[in-house]
């Protein structure tokens, strides 16, 4: 959700669609086909994913001058969780992750247009992800989770 309450639409990218594309590209190459089968097995196992329901992708934006966009994403307990934010227009973005009690879990406030954090949630539940735009102009970005 953006500061004014708008919600950006989700993209059609899913792990399953990417696997289907990989199968088409691999053709009859047995090495790639075997690798794709291993990855597909990992995707179907919830133990390899951080986000409940599997990897997430969304295109969104944040207003300039410290505008913030907030996401609520559930993660599995004791599972490696990753969040990556990629600025589309080269703005300096910061990334903050809070647990359901608003305790800061992870952050990336480097002077960089892209952000990355990883963590191990202690319990299965919702985590608040905030992307802050420290640039003076509005910024579009993509957010990915494992």
Domain presence at residue 4:
no
Domain count, the chain: 2
Domain presence at residue 41:
yes
Domain presence at residue 6:
no
pLDDT digits (tens, 9 = 90+) for 72-97: 999 999 999 999 999 999 999 999 99
Domain presence at residue 1:
no
Domain presence at residue 33:
yes
The answer on 135 and 71 residing in a single domain is yes
Domain presence at residue 10:
no
Tell me which of 55 and 108 has the higher pLDDT: 108
CATH code for the domain in which residue 90 is found:
2.60.120.380
The answer on 33 and 62 residing in a single domain is no
Domain presence at residue 133:
yes
The answer to whether residue 42 scores a pLDDT higher than 80 is no
The answer on 71 and 134 residing in a single domain is yes
* Residue 128 confidence (pLDDT): 98
The reported pTM is 0.68
The answer on 23 and 76 residing in a single domain is no
The answer on 64 and 41 residing in a single domain is no
pLDDT digits (tens, 9 = 90+) for 94-138: 999 999 999 999 999 999 889 999 999 999 999 999 999 999 999
Boundaries of domain holding 87: 56-145
Torsions phi, psi for 45 (to 5 deg) = -90, 120
* Residue 35 confidence (pLDDT): 85
The answer on 76 and 24 residing in a single domain is no
The answer on 79 and 44 residing in a single domain is no
Domain presence at residue 2:
no
The answer on 114 and 43 residing in a single domain is no
């Amino acid at each position: 959700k953006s500061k004014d309450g708008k919600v950006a639409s989700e993209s059609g990218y899913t792990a399953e669609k990417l696997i289907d594309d990989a199968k088409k590209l691999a053709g009859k190459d047995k090495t790639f086909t075997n690798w794709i089968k291993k990855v597909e097995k990992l995707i179907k196992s919830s133990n390899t994913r951080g986000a409940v329901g599997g990897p997430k992708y969304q295109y969104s934006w944040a207003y300039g001058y410290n505008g913030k966009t907030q996401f609520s994403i559930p993660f599995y307990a004791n599972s490696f969780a990753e969040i990556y934010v990629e600025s589309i227009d080269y703005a300096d973005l910061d990334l903050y992750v809070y647990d359901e009690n608003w305790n800061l879990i992870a952050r990336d406030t480097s002077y960089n247009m892209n952000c990355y954090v990883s963590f191990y949630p202690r319990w299965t539940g919702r985590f608040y992800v905030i992307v802050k735009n420290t640039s003076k102009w509005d910024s579009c970005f993509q957010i990915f989770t494992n």
